[in-house]
Amino acid sequence: MDTGNTYEVRDMKLAGQGLLNIEYAESKMGSLLEIRKRFIKEKPLAGVRVGLALHITKETAVLVRTLIAGGADVAITGCNPLSTQDDVAAALAKEGVKVYGYKGENSEDYYKYLNKIIEFKPNITIDDGCDLVSEIHKKHTELIPSIIAGCEETTTGVIRLNAMEKDNALKYPMIAVNDNDTKHLLDNYYSTGQSTCDGIIRATNVLFAGKTVVTAGYGSCGKGFALRARGLGANVIVTEINPFRALQAVYDGFRVMKMEDAAPLGEIFCTLTGDKHVIRLEHMRKMKSGAIMANSGHFDIEIDIAGLKKASSATKRVRPFLDEFVLDGKNLYICGEGRLVNLAAAEGHPSEVMATSFCGQALAVEYAVKHRGKLPVKVIQLPKEIDDNIALLQLSALSVKIDTLTEEQKKYLSGWEEGT
Ligand SMILES: NC(=O)c1ccc[n+]([C@@H]2O[C@H](COP(=O)([O-])OP(=O)(O)OC[C@H]3O[C@@H](n4cnc5c(N)ncnc54)[C@H](O)[C@@H]3O)[C@@H](O)[C@H]2O)c1
C-alpha cells in the first residue's frame, strides 16, 4: 500500500493510467461539466467540507473535481470493498485529494478508511449505502451539529435512512438523490441492466443466448437486467414478492415463479432486490451443476454465501471474480464474492449515466448549502425543478432539443372548461 499524509491507495505508480481514465470519463460527462463551469464562476461550496463514501471510480473522480471546483474541501473513501479502481484512487491522491481505499479491502481497512472521513469532520456527507451516516449516528454524534446535510446515492441507503427516520434516530437532513427521476431511470434501470450483464460476462465469459436467466427482483434494477438479458437472447424468469411488480413482469412477457421453482431451471441467477438471503441453501441444492450466481443489489447478503461455504465439500477460485463451490457433488459458481457484480467484476455504470446521477449529487450539495439550517431533519427529495434541470442538461449534452408549451397549451392544460 502507498501511504501519505492525505492518502492510502494501492500503488501511486498507477496514477498516470488513472488520469487517462478520468479524462476519458469526463469526455462523456458533459452535463456534469456544465455544472462544473458554473461552480468555477460562482464557488457555491466555498469553505464547505464534503466527505464521500462512494465507489472510487473514474466517474466519481469527475464528481470530486466538480465539488472542488465549487470551492469544497473533499475527502473520499469507497463504499464497497471490491469497487475501488486503484488507478483512479492513485490519480486523485496525486492531485492532492484526500483519498483512502483500494480494491479488495478487508473489513478492518474498510472501517478504518470510513473513520478517516469522519476525522475530516465533514459538513456534508455523500453516501452510497448509508454506512458513513450510520457510523456517524452510532459513534460520532459530536459531529452532527456541524453537519448541514447528507446525500444518499442508492435505494438500499434510502431504505436504511427511512428506517432511521421512523425510529427517530435520524439527526440531520438527508437528501435522497437516488429518488431523482433522472437517477432512477438512467442508473438503476438502463445502466444496472447493461453493466450487470457486463460484470457476469467478464467474470465468467458465459454466453447469455439460449440460457435460462433468473432475475430476483423486478424493481428498477431488476427490470433493466431482465430486459438486457432478454436482449442477449436469454430466456428470463422473474421472482418477486410484490404482487404489482410480479404482474408487471408477467405482462412484460417474462415467466414469474417462486425461487424454489426457478432454482432447478436457471443457469444464471442474479439478485437485484436489496433484500437478505433471497437465494438460500435450499435453492442452491436444487440448482443444476454449473449454475452461476451473481448479485447486483447493494450488499453482499442477497445470496447466502456463508451457508454455501459451510455446506460445500470443496471451494476454489477459478479466476478473478469467480469462485467454484462443490455442493452435493455439483459445481456452483459465485461471481465477485456476491458483491455488486457490475462494480466488482466490471467498471460499474458507463460515464454518460453517472453524469446524470452525479449532477444530482452536485446540485444536492449546492441545494443543502443554500438552505443551510432550514432543511427538515428528514429524508427529503430534491425539488422537481432541479431534477428536470438535470434532464435538460443531459439532453443538451446529447444535443437533443425538445418542445416547450405554447401559451395556448399552458392555458388548456391548466383549465377545465374546454371539453368535448
Ligand atoms: N448494481 C448497481 O449498480 C446498483 C444501482 C442502483 C441500485 N442498486 C441496488 O440494487 C438494489 C435494488 O434497487 P432497485 O432500485 O431496483 O430497488 P427497488 O425497490 O425498485 O426493487 C427491488 C425489488 O426487489 C423485490 N424484492 C424484495 N425482496 C425480494 C425477494 N425476497 N425476492 C424477490 N424479490 C424481492 C421488491 O419487491 C422490489 O420490487 C438495491 O440494493 C440498490 O441499492 C444497485
**174 beta partners:** 150, 379
Query: Which contacts of 34-41 are long-range, i.e. CB under 8 A and separated by 24 or more positions?
Result: 34/393, 34/396, 34/397, 35/66, 35/359, 35/362, 35/363, 35/393, 36/65, 36/66, 36/69, 36/70, 36/362, 39/66, 39/67, 39/69, 39/70, 39/71, 39/362, 39/366, 40/69, 40/70
Query: Which atom, in ligand 1's list, is nearest to the CA of 196?
Result: 1
Nearest to 58 by CA among 299, 352, 320: 352
Q: Global pTM?
A: 0.91
Q: Is the distance from CB of 174 to CB of 149 less than 8 angstroms?
A: yes
Rounded to an integer, what distance in angstroms lies between the CA atom of residue 268 and that of residue 291? Answer: 6
Residue 138 — very low, low, confident or very high, per pLDDT cuts 50/70/90? very high
Residue 184 — very low, low, confident or very high, per pLDDT cuts 50/70/90? confident
Burial of 107 (0-12, 13-18, 19+ CB in 10 A): exposed
When pLDDT is averaged across residues 272-292 and rounded to a whole number, the result is: 98
Distances (CA, A) of 234 to 145, 204, 247, 266, 307: 52, 16, 20, 11, 28
Report, in angstroms and rounded to the nearest whole number, the Rg of the chain calculated over CA atoms: 22
Cα 324 to averaged position of ligand 1 atoms, centre (Å): 25
Query: Which atom, in ligand 1's list, is nearest to the CA of 242?
Result: 37
Cα 297 to averaged position of ligand 1 atoms, centre (Å): 6
When pLDDT is averaged across residues 38-42 and rounded to a whole number, the result is: 98
pLDDT at 194: 96
Choose one of 127, 153, 154 to mutate for the ligand 1 pocket test, by most ligand atoms within 8 angstroms of C-beta.
Answer: 154
Cα 122 to averaged position of ligand 1 atoms, centre (Å): 29
When pLDDT is averaged across residues 85-91 and rounded to a whole number, the result is: 98
**pLDDT tens digits along 289-305:** 999 999 999 999 999 99
* CB-based contacts of 277, cutoff 8 Å, min separation 6: 301, 302, 303, 304
Residue 102 — very low, low, confident or very high, per pLDDT cuts 50/70/90? very high
Asked if the model's pLDDT at residue 320 lies above 90, the reply is yes
Q: What sign for the dihedral angle of Cα 65, 70, 71, 73?
A: negative
* CB-based contacts of 393, cutoff 8 Å, min separation 6: 31, 34, 35, 359
With a Cβ cut-off of 6 Å, ligand 1 is lined by: 154-156, 187-188, 192, 216-222, 239-242, 245, 272-275, 278, 296-298, 340, 342
Q: End-to-end distance of the chain based on CA atoms, in angstroms?
A: 73
Q: For the chain, what's the residue count?
A: 420
Q: Is the distance from CB of 236 to CB of 269 less than 8 angstroms?
A: no
State the maximum Cα–Cα separation within the chain, in Å, rounded to a whole number: 74
